[in-house]
Amino acid sequence: MSKQNDKEFLYHSLPDYILSKISDQDLISEIKSEIENNPDFKNEYDEMLGAFKFLDSARLDSPDEIYFSNLSVKINDRIYKEKITFNLFDWLGLKWKTLIPLSLIVIAAFLIFNLFIREKEEPAQNESSVLYNSNENIENKGKVYKVDSISQKNPISDPEILTKNKSDFTINESVTFKNSSKRKHNSNNDLNRITEVNDNQLLKVNKIDLGLLAYNIDGLDNQENELDPEEDILFFKDSDEDESDVEILKLTPEEEKEILEHL
Amino acid sequence: MVLDHDDADDITQEVFLKLYRSLGDFRGESKFFTYVYKIAVNFSLNHINKNKKINMRKSDIDNVNIRSLDISADEEMNSKERTHILEEAIKSLPEQQRAVFNMRYYDNLTYEEISSLMNKSTGGMKANYFHAVKKLGKFLKNHNKFEEIESN
């Protein structure tokens, strides 16, 4: 240790020397000799001694005993208050911790579903337009046709083909098809058959005799006939000249069955 | 360390609340006393830092009072006055020196303990204590308190 460091160390040990907190006898004797021989050191010592004398004479106020007895009550009270607040925040924190990832997962799942799954489904839907039967309304250029009891004579004059429906139905002319003929199938339990229709035609398959009826939309409102309750409706808009219907209608039951099985 | 009973009361409560909250963080690597004391010192130093400007303004006002006390230097200095001057003297210290002085003089902590509490070297803490006492001596000398003590 250099002399300078030695001196510094002696100076720094001066307060402890005054308060007799030094146990090292060598250090004590060294400080004593320094006080005797070094006037600067002596001045420092005197100043510090005076300060300590003052500190000894002046005591800082300490709180009354009652303060300490009340302190635990105060702290307990604050802890209780904090506890209530903390539990609430803790609860909220936990909720947010779970809610945020959950909502992110839900959003992600929704986006994935929309972007990928629906994209795959849409072309399939376009190819096979599914028509749902019957008691549902289908808009037709804003018009709703209501038929309480219909028994349509086949405009093509096929007496075997009947239509009936005792419920409301509407006709949708706005159904569009990509191809000239589309596969449509009825989701109704009564009609699980599949048949083919031409443009602007909607077919409903009779579950009993598989007869097909096409009728003109224009004549729909005024046509009323008794319906056979055991038959379902076959429909749809048609032009009388449509030969494909005629062909279908002229099929024998065996041929129809074969076609349907084929489909 | 904060020299105000209300502030000290607030800090004490805060320290116990902090302890209550973070008791689980105590690993037992140091003495529990050191752990508690460290929290208290940190709170006190934060409080001193926060109220530094306010305290400085207050001490300016109080210095005027001290000077007015000097006028009646012949009068016997009662304990309240002494306490007041001591408080002012301690307030005049920089915060770290004040903390070290309190720890060493009033709480009789060793330099090793102080250094671990303040995260500083032992020599540095010893120097801090020396400078704190020196400054206190100068403050009292400037206010002619040494003579009064001598005469008393």
The pLDDT of A189-218, averaged and rounded, is: 44
Instruction: Tell me the residue range of the domain where B127 lies.
Output: 5-151
CA angle A138, A172, A228 (to 5 degrees): 75
- Distance set, CA A89 to CA A3, A81, A97, A101, B14 (Å): 61, 13, 12, 18, 19
Confidence (pTM): 0.50
Q: Is the pLDDT at A230 greater than 70, yes or no?
A: no
Choice between A246 and B85, residue whose per-residue pLDDT is larger? B85
Closest chain A residue to the Cα of B110, Cα to Cα: A21
A143 dihedral zone (left: phi>0; alpha: psi -120 to 50; beta)? beta
Extract the tokens encoding A7. 């001196």
pLDDT > 70: percent of chain B? 76
The pLDDT of B32-49, averaged and rounded, is: 87
Q: Rounded to whole angstroms, how far apart are CA atoms A160 and A231?
A: 12
- Work out how many domains chain B is built from and give that number: 1
Q: Rounded to whole angstroms, how far apart are CA atoms A165 and A187?
A: 16
A3-17, A54-68, A248-262, B51-65: range with lowest mean pLDDT: B51-65
Q: Using only C-alpha atoms, what is the Rg of chain A?
A: 51
Which of A50, A61, A74 shows the shortest C-beta gap to B137?
Answer: A50
Contact between chains at B20 and A79 (C-beta distance less than 8 A): yes
Q: Is the pLDDT at A243 greater than 70, yes or no?
A: no
pLDDT at A92: 65
Domain CATH number, residue B90: 1.10.10.10
- Asked if residue A151 lies in contact with residue A161, where contact means CB atoms within 8 angstroms, the answer is no
The pLDDT of A140-161, averaged and rounded, is: 45
Confidence of residue A3 (pLDDT cuts 50, 70, 90): low
pLDDT at A194: 42
What dihedral angle (degrees, nearest 10) is formed by the CA atoms of B36, A66, B49, B59? -150
The pLDDT of B121-140, averaged and rounded, is: 91
pLDDT in tens, A92-121: 666 677 778 888 999 998 888 888 776 776
Min CA distance, B15 vs chain A (Å)? 10
- Closest by CA to A12, choosing from B44, B135, B49, B130, is B130
Min CA distance, B20 vs chain A (Å)? 8
Interface test with A, best of B39, B90, B133 (most A CBs within 10 A): B133
Contact between chains at B82 and A57 (C-beta distance less than 8 A): yes
